[in-house]
Amino acid sequence: MNEYDVIIIGAGNGGLASAATLAELDKRVLVFEKHNIPGGCGTSFRRGRFEFEVALHQLSSMGTPEKPGPLREQFRRYGIESEIEWIEIKELFRVNFPDGTGVSIPADRKACEAYLMEQFPAEKDAILRYFETVYAFADESAKFADASAKSTGEPGALKKAVMKLLFPKMYPTLARYGLKSTQEVLDEFFTSPKLQLALSAYWCFMGMPPERFPWSILAKCTNIYMEDKPFYLRGTSMMMNQAIMESIRRMGGEVRLNLGVKKLLLESGKAVGVVDDNGMEYRAKKIVSNISPLATYGALLEPEEVPAVAREYLKPYTVGISAITCFIGLDCTPEEIGFTTSFTLNYESFDANKDFQDAYKLLPEHDPLVATCYTVDDPAVSPKGTSIITAGTLKYGTEWEKLSPEQYYEMKYEAGRRIVARLEAMYPGFTSHIEEMEIATPLTHMRYLNHPGGAIYGYEQDLLNSVFFFPAESKIPNLEFASGWVNACGFGPNYLFADKLAKRIAREV
Ligand SMILES: Cc1cc2nc3c(=O)[nH]c(=O)nc-3n(C[C@H](O)[C@H](O)[C@H](O)COP(=O)(O)OP(=O)(O)OC[C@H]3O[C@@H](n4cnc5c(N)ncnc54)[C@H](O)[C@@H]3O)c2cc1C
């Protein structure tokens, strides 16, 4: 019988974690994955003697074994924590400024405050007040989320009026900063452009300039990384997702690789099952889509089946940014070439708005460059005496989609050449050590993930799409979404979101 409690479309982070939690709660689950390996973005590939990580630079919410974060607790429940060698990253990141100077941010609140106060003594008090605010914001957000999860039903007019009055008193930091942009908050606290960039440097990795980037996301991200520390793992994120898949199977769930879903079945407007690529039908009480709402509604349903209310709901959200990434294997150690920090954010200007506009162009010029040398924190990630580096810049897919196949290859290698030239300028001799190199463009992400525009973080993460307003609602009964498109995008947030969703679904099926 092809009948299940829950069917999950896609074995990315969100799909796998939903399935694992549901299987843990004794639900009959079936996961379909069109690719021949699980993981979605969270995967790896081999070139020569190197195994390259596709996406993960830093895993959030892990915490240490002694002070576990929510993700470590979740992995303990799945029985996979001890199967993986976790690597704690000591330095959050290094920012290289346009004038050749830079700062390295420790992944610890006190150490970070002390370091920044030493670097920017004129802004000492503001630095302390800023971190106080970041922590108060994170604390109040967590309390507000808990309270919201406990309240049941739609609040009546009276309750709404009371909440409106009480909210600023109960959650003063959340009320004051919840809807502010990163730039607004930085301007309130700091005057030094370097300090502002040091504290918002993640913007070039997350793909929204500070004027549009929700401070709520930056504050939570800063707090989570400082408290739960950034982690990597031995064997790439593929190991982690492979382990979750095995855990699903151990707990009685099914994962079918190399088998996509081509149709979502509706009856009286409700989701009741799916059809796989071979035309086989399966039924379930709930369907969880781990792919974008756009692809779910657009590719798995006929246009007339998509509720008008779903189109209306998604209308304000815009498809987010993609990336050009060079995956590079060097025949030397990181020290030989001058890499001392695993995660480096390199800026050639302080004008974030201009830099962001450049992300719409086809080729990298002066775009901020994100470079990760995985070998710095764990020499064993690559063969002895070698290093693995990924370096790239965020780009929208639009210009790439216009290219002919011949132009595509030419432009892809030109993009690679430009990124390598930037690395050569920073680390003289770099080029002569390249042993292997592969390049991913927005079209690569589109091809492997089926994501519109090759978006790597789902919808644009702007003020509209933040803490309070993620487009997580499904407008089809019995259909749910669990992916980076409906939540703060990233490994940690996705696993945690899917866990929460699965617990709710388990109570309903
Ligand atoms: C270059 C890059 C760098 C990143 N760096 C970081 C980082 O350092 N830290 C961090 O936290 N996050 C990072 N991210 C983001 C993170 O990888 C994503 O947020 C996350 O992996 C998305 O997971 P997801 O659950 O949305 O699923 P996805 O990864 O989008 O996977 C969806 C899955 O669905 C499958 N699928 C699609 N259509 C079908 C179908 N019809 N039937 C069956 N299966 C289907 C796909 O094959 C895929 O496996 C990065 C992403 C990229 C690309």
Measured from the CB, is residue 291 less than 6 Å from ligand 1? yes
CA atoms of 366 and 355, how far apart (whole Å): 7
Alpha-carbon distances of 120 from 99, 192, 252, rounded to whole Å: 16, 8, 56
Measured from the CB, is residue 55 less than 6 Å from ligand 1? yes
Measured from the CB, is residue 344 less than 6 Å from ligand 1? no
Report the pLDDT value the prediction gives residue 154, as an integer from 0 to 100: 65
Beta-strand pair 479-481/343-346: unpaired
Residue 285 DSSP label: E
Q: pTM for the whole thing?
A: 0.94
Measured from the CB, is residue 57 less than 6 Å from ligand 1? yes
The residue type of 229 is: K
Measured from the CB, is residue 62 less than 6 Å from ligand 1? no
Measured from the CB, is residue 320 less than 6 Å from ligand 1? no
Measured from the CB, is residue 325 less than 6 Å from ligand 1? yes
- For each of the chain's 509 residues, which pLDDT tens digit applies? 699 999 999 999 999 999 999 999 999 999 999 999 999 999 999 999 999 999 999 999 999 999 999 999 999 999 999 999 999 998 999 999 999 999 999 999 999 999 999 999 999 999 999 999 999 999 999 998 888 777 766 667 777 777 778 889 999 999 999 999 999 999 999 999 999 999 999 999 999 999 999 999 999 999 999 999 999 999 999 999 999 999 999 999 999 999 999 999 999 999 999 999 999 999 999 999 999 999 999 999 999 999 999 999 999 999 999 999 999 999 999 999 999 889 999 999 999 999 999 999 999 999 999 999 999 988 999 999 999 999 999 999 999 999 999 999 999 999 999 999 999 999 999 999 999 999 999 999 999 888 889 999 999 988 877 767 888 999 999 999 999 999 888 999 999 999 999 999 999 99
CA atoms of 156 and 153, how far apart (whole Å): 9
Give distance in angstroms: CA of 258 to centre of ligand 1: 16
* Residue with CA at minimum distance from ligand 1 atom 15: 490
Give distance in angstroms: CA of 449 to centre of ligand 1: 7
Report the pLDDT value the prediction gives residue 166, as an integer from 0 to 100: 87
* Residue with CA at minimum distance from ligand 1 atom 2: 55
Measured from the CB, is residue 253 less than 6 Å from ligand 1? no
For residue 38, give the ligand 1 atom closest to its CA. 49
* Residue with CA at minimum distance from ligand 1 atom 4: 55
CA atoms of 475 and 25, how far apart (whole Å): 26
Measured from the CB, is residue 492 less than 6 Å from ligand 1? yes
DSSP secondary structure, 56-82, as one string: -S-B-S-B-SSSB-HHHHHHHHHT-GG
**Residue environment code for 206-221, b if the CB has 16+ CB neighbours within 10 A, otherwise e:** bbbbbebbbbbbbbbb
Give distance in angstroms: CA of 385 to centre of ligand 1: 31
How many Cβ atoms from other residues are within 10 Å of residue 468's Cβ? 15
The structure tokens listed for 499 are 């866990």
Report the pLDDT value the prediction gives residue 1, as an integer from 0 to 100: 60
CA atoms of 117 and 126, how far apart (whole Å): 9
Report the pLDDT value the prediction gives residue 161, as an integer from 0 to 100: 72
Q: Are 221 and 203 in contact (CB under 8 A)?
A: no
For residue 57, give the ligand 1 atom closest to its CA. 8
Q: Which domains occur in the chain, in start order?
A: 3-45+59-85+234-317+463-508 (3.50.50.60), 105-226 (no CATH), 321-449 (3.30.519)
Measured from the CB, is residue 14 less than 6 Å from ligand 1? yes
